[in-house]
């Protein structure tokens, strides 16, 4: 056993003959490599999907058109919702991708696959480092189990191929916390250094990644990091260590990373932009949210689905931590702080989305791996293997039965069957994979064979994601994307003034050469000329809360209706 372990008996897999260096590297990194291949198979299989992906694409498109790297722009205005790092990564990816491929899949200077690469790379690179960190400070086999659990977690799989800031932010923030924990373990002699002042390297890398996380999503990175570190040091009663964690150098490094862009952006965008970016999008969103408002306990509900099927083992994990002595381990305490502190802090905010807690899952996966590691080496009783393995089998069996009922037995009624009819092929294959995985897990659990339970669960879920992310996404793409809209609307928009009624859905303009200024009042709508065009979503057009009445609507003719992104886009003109 290398590095630090949780309290309790040491459990590791039997040693095998040493292979050559290349084979040894491939063997050590087999889980991260397979995960990277899975993401590569999926990431280019669909176009931009609402609500967020078209916005990011439009921002990058306008940054390229303006030739700027300083501010993101959306619909002709500086976009203040998030800091700059993710936009830099997307723009760099798009420029490199266009040059290397000769413009493969590009329209209007952007391509969905190139915009998706930063999330894919952040997730894959993090998983490689994550496994190596666990091998360094825990055990190699525990790191493999943790990787399998993490990469089969639904929310991690989904965010890894999504054009959103959250995977980049979570990977940077989680690595910052892991690096900080490594430095603390070395300072407190819970791990042996491999070279002089190794702890300084870990601490400075932690502060560097924290600064980059701040550049990705703002002050939330500092708030959550202070919560995790403060909670851990309070539990450890180790505030004296503050003098040994290179805090002064860390603050200087943070300032060097964060300040230049924030100052330049505030000067360029002006006071209103700085207020929106720093105060409105952070403090006001946290204290007086205007969207995604959920009750205090909502993250518990998100966790149940987003960490499935491992969620069903959380009661067993709590008992394991309490009874095995693991809670006395400093590293276990840090992992618990990295899970619980963000949950509590983010629960205090009114605005809640499942992706906001993405950074806790690497730490929860390590704790879950500690619970399941004895099963992997069959160092526990067959009865315990049957209980935990049976739980995993049932967790896969329930969705398997539900999918099989819908896909094979036509359950759910005529309306549901009409909705799923285009996707019966991938649904049936996923149902078959889940049934086979569940049966295999149940058989192994019954026989008391625990060695492959985690691997088979992860492989089953990974295969389902492969089917859904290739075959399923391609079937769904025409319904979720904006290519059909663009093909039909672009000829009708060319050379005309176009406005958008209510809040813009960027997908309607990202593949056109138009900007669509927003109009929000009936007076602005009445001022539209008969040669101009109005774009809106059917939901907004029919919403009486916007002030529109039937008489105003009657003065506009609907030229085009196209289903897009879960709604219907409308193109209108004013009657002469």
In tens, the pLDDT along 342-391 reads 999 999 998 899 999 999 999 999 999 999 988 877 678 888 999 999 99
Q: How many Å apart are CA 307 and CA 310, to the nearest integer?
A: 6
Among 200-204, 279-283, 312-316, 437-441, the range scoring the smallest mean pLDDT is 279-283
If you search the block for the tokens 């439009």, which residue do you land on?
58
Backbone angles phi, psi at 449, to 5 degrees: -100, 105
187: pLDDT confidence band, cut at 50, 70 and 90? very high
Interatomic CA distance for residues 251 and 256, integer angstroms: 9
Q: For residue 291, what pLDDT is reported?
A: 77
Residue by residue, what is the 3-state secondary structure of 144-196? HHHHHHHHCCHHHHHHCCCCCCHHHHHHHHHHHHHHHHHHHHHHCCCCCCCCC
Pairing of strands 533-537, 498-501: parallel
Report the run of H or E that residue 498 belongs to, with start and end. Answer: strand 498-501
pLDDT at 404 over 80: yes
For residue 384, give Cα distances in angstroms to 177, 313, 391, 421, 440: 33, 12, 11, 42, 17
DSSP 107: B
What's the average model confidence in pLDDT over 171-191?
97
Q: Is 378 left (phi over 0), alpha (psi -120 to 50) or beta?
A: left
Residue 84: partners with Cβ closer than 8 Å, 6 or more residues away: 70, 71, 72, 215, 261, 265
- pLDDT tens digits along 230-257: 999 999 999 999 999 999 999 999 999 9
Predicted confidence at residue 3, as pLDDT, reads 42
> CA 10, 16, 18, 23: dihedral to nearest 10 degrees?
-100
Let me know: does 459 contact 35? Beta carbons within 8 Å: no
Please classify residue 395 by burial: count the beta carbons closer than 10 Å to its beta carbon, then call 0-12 exposed, 13-18 middle and 19+ buried. Answer: buried
> Does 15 score more than 80 pLDDT?
no
Q: 435-463, pLDDT tens digit by residue?
A: 999 999 999 999 988 889 999 999 999 99
Reference 213, options 162, 179, 249, 247; nearest CA is 179
> How many Cα atoms sit within 13 Å of 498 on the Cβ side?
23
Q: How far apart are CA 140 and CA 13, in angstroms?
A: 9
């Amino acid at each position: 056993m290398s590095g630090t372990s949780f309290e309790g008996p040491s459990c590791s897999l039997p040693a095998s003959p040493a292979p050559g260096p290349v084979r040894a590297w491939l063997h050590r990194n087999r889980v991260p490599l397979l995960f990277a291949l899975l993401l590569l198979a999926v990431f280019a299989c669909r176009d931009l999907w609402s609500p967020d992906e078209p916005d990011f694409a439009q921002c990058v498109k306008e940054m390229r058109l303006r030739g700027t790297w300083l501010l993101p722009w959306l619909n002709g205005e500086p976009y203040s919702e998030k800091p700059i790092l993710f936009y830099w990564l997307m723009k760099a990816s798009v420029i490199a991708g266009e040059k290397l491929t000769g413009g493969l899949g590009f329209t209007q200077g952007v391509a969905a696959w190139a915009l998706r690469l930063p999330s894919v790379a952040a997730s894959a690179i993090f998983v490689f480092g994550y496994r190596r960190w666990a091998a360094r400070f825990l055990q190699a086999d525990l790191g493999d189990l943790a990787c399998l659990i993490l990469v089969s977690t639904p929310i991690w799989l989904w965010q890894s191929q999504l054009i959103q800031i959250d995977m980049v932010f979570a990977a940077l923030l989680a690595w910052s916390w892991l690096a900080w924990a490594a430095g603390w373990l070395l300072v407190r002699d819970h791990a042996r250094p491999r070279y002089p002042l190794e702890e300084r390297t870990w601490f400075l890398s932690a502060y560097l990644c924290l600064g980059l996380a701040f550049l990705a999503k703002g002050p939330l990175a500092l708030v959550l990091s202070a919560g995790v570190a403060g909670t851990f040091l309070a539990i450890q009663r180790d505030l004296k260590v503050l003098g040994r964690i290179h805090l002064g150098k860390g603050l200087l490094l943070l300032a060097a990373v964060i300040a230049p862009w924030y100052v330049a952006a505030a000067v360029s965008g002006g006071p209103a932009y700085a207020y929106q970016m720093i105060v409105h999008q952070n403090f006001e969103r946290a204290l007086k949210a205007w969207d995604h408002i959920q009750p205090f306990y909502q993250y518990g509900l998100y966790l149940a689905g987003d960490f499935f099927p491992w969620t069903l083992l959380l009661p067993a994990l709590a008992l394991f931590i309490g009874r095995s002595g693991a809670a006395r381990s400093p590293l276990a305490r840090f992992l618990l702080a990295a899970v619980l502190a963000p949950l509590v802090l983010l629960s205090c905010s009114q605005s809640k989305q499942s992706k906001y807690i993405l950074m806790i899952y690497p730490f929860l996966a390590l704790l879950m791996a500690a619970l399941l590691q004895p099963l992997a080496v069959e160092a526990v009783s067959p009865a315990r293997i049957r209980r935990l393995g049976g739980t995993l089998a049932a967790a896969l069996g329930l969705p398997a039965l539900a999918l099989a009922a819908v896909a094979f037995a036509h359950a759910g009624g005529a309306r549901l069957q009409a909705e799923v009819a285009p996707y019966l092929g991938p649904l049936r294959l996923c149902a078959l994979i889940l049934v086979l995985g569940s049966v295999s897990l149940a058989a192994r659990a019954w026989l008391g064979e625990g060695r492959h339970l985690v691997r088979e669960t992860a492989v089953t879920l990974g295969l389902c994601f492969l089917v859904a992310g290739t075959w399923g996404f391609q079937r769904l793409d025409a319904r979720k994307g904006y290519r059909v809209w663009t093909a039909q609307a672009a000829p009708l928009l060319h050379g005309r003034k176009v406005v958008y009624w209510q809040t813009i859905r960027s997908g309607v303009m990202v593949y056109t050469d138009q900007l669509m200024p927003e109009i929000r009042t009936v007076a602005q709508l009445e001022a539209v000329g008969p040669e101009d065009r109005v774009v809106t979503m059917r939901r907004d057009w029919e919403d009486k809360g916007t002030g529109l009445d039937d008489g105003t609507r009657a003065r506009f003719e609907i030229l085009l209706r196209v289903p897009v992104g879960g709604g219907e886009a409308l193109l209108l003109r004013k009657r002469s």
